[in-house]
Every structure is written in C-alpha cells, then in structure tokens.
Amino acid sequence: MDEVVRLTDVAKIYTMGEERVEAMKGVSFTVHRGEFVSIMGASGSGKSTCMNILGCLDVPTRGSYFLDGVDVGGLSADALAEVRNKKLGFVFQGFNLLARTTARQNVELPLVYAQVPAAERRSRALEALERVGLAGREGHYSNQLSGGQQQRVAIARALVNRPSIILADEPTGNLDSRTTIEIMSIFQELNRQGITIIMVTHEPDVAEFTSRHIIFKDGQVISDQPYQAKSAVLPAEAQQR
C-alpha cells in the first residue's frame, strides 16, 4: 500500500504567556492508502492537535509531515489552503452546513472554491449525495433534514473534491446510537471503495468500527494496533430516512 501520511518526530509547542505547553511530543506514524484509522485519547492527550496538523490547519514546531509525498511543513499559507481544498475532506461533529442553501449547494461549496465549472459542480455534487444515500434529497435545506442526513451531506461535501484522505473529527458526537451506526456504515462502505479515513473519537464503541487504533496520552502515541473492525449494519429502512 502507498503511504498517504507520514509524521516523523512531530512536536507542537504552544506558548501562553510564560508557560510552554507541549501538546505533541515527538509523534511518529504512517497511514497507508485505504486504511480506516481512529485516533483516540482523553481530553488534552494531543489527538486534536494531531488532527489539526494532519488537516494542515496548524504546522509542527518540530518534525515533518508528508502528505501524499509532499512535505507540507514548509508550504505557504496559500499553498496550505490549496492542499486543504484538493487533498483533504473534512467532516466535523457540528456538520458545519450553510443553513440557507440546499444539500446540493452545500456539497458544491469546495468545488466553487476550486473554480470548477457549474455543470461539473452539479454533476459531482449529485454523485456524492447518491454515494451517501441522499439521492433525491439534493433540494432539501438543512432545517428539512435530520441530524443523520445533515452529516451525510457533510460527508458528501468531504468526498466531492476526491480527496486523498477524509479527516473526521468526532463525526458522531451529536448523533444518537442508531444514527451513529448508520454514519459508521457509510464510512465503512466508502473505505471499502478505497477511501482513506482518519477519525478522531473519544468513544471506544465508535472506534470499534475502524481497523486501526492509535491512542494518545500526554502528547505521545502509547499504542498503535490493528483492530478487527466491527461491521456497522445499516438497517434497510434507515436508508430511506
């Protein structure tokens, strides 16, 4: 398998007044194309800092981060923004959808930033919505969709630019247990199609649906193990909701 992520001796130090906080302390790991990885740890363990670095939202104080073979540590702000738009798809706990736009328009948004022509934007958005089980719902506004459907729109938006990785930050944190299984079923299906997914979660029962567990504590990786992922069964009636 090809490497899509390589962190080597990555440290991140924040300075707050006279206090120095070392959020990451020499973290090293690789992720290969097609993996489904969960990053776990208690609050303050460094997992969110790691996700910010993986998402090119922050840069290491020390060490290197290679994404698709490119060292992103030395890139300019504009170049990092381009990497975020073209190589990374983001899914957040709070969905982050625009309220007064349709599902299709929300999904099209990364393509607008990438200056993709309108006809292609529409086609790719509809294709992404179909992949997450929302064909026929493209004209619905956010307030007309359930929480699970809104998260599906967010996943479709993450997919639409055909990224190297989907980064999911507590993607089921606002969902009930039934809807959580539905969303994890979608992630598993996308992963079977070859999409690389890295997910931050503090919930062990959610991490059970992934095939590798990286556990942080006090800014360091204390465990990195393959895992026999539990299958998320999507009830047939849920696909219509």
Span of 37-41, 82-86, 187-191, 209-213 with lowest mean pLDDT: 82-86
Residue 1 has what pLDDT?
57
Choices 3.40.462.40, 3.40.50.300, 3.50.50.60, 3.40.190.10: CATH for 3-226: 3.40.50.300
Neighbours of 221 (CB within 10 A): 22
* 1-27 residue pLDDT tens: 599 999 999 999 999 888 888 999 999
pLDDT given for residue 241 in this prediction: 45
Q: Does 95 have pLDDT greater than 90?
A: no
Residues 6+ apart with CB under 8 A from 87: 67, 68, 163, 164, 165
> Mind listing the pLDDT tens digit for each residue in 156-194?
999 999 998 999 999 998 899 999 999 999 999 999 999
Whole-prediction pTM = 0.91
Closest CA to 176 of 221, 241, 108, 118: 241
Q: What is the mean pLDDT of residues 31-35?
A: 96
Q: What is the structure's pLDDT at 183? A: 93
Q: What is the model's pLDDT at position 75?
A: 87
Averaged pLDDT score across all residues of the chain? 91
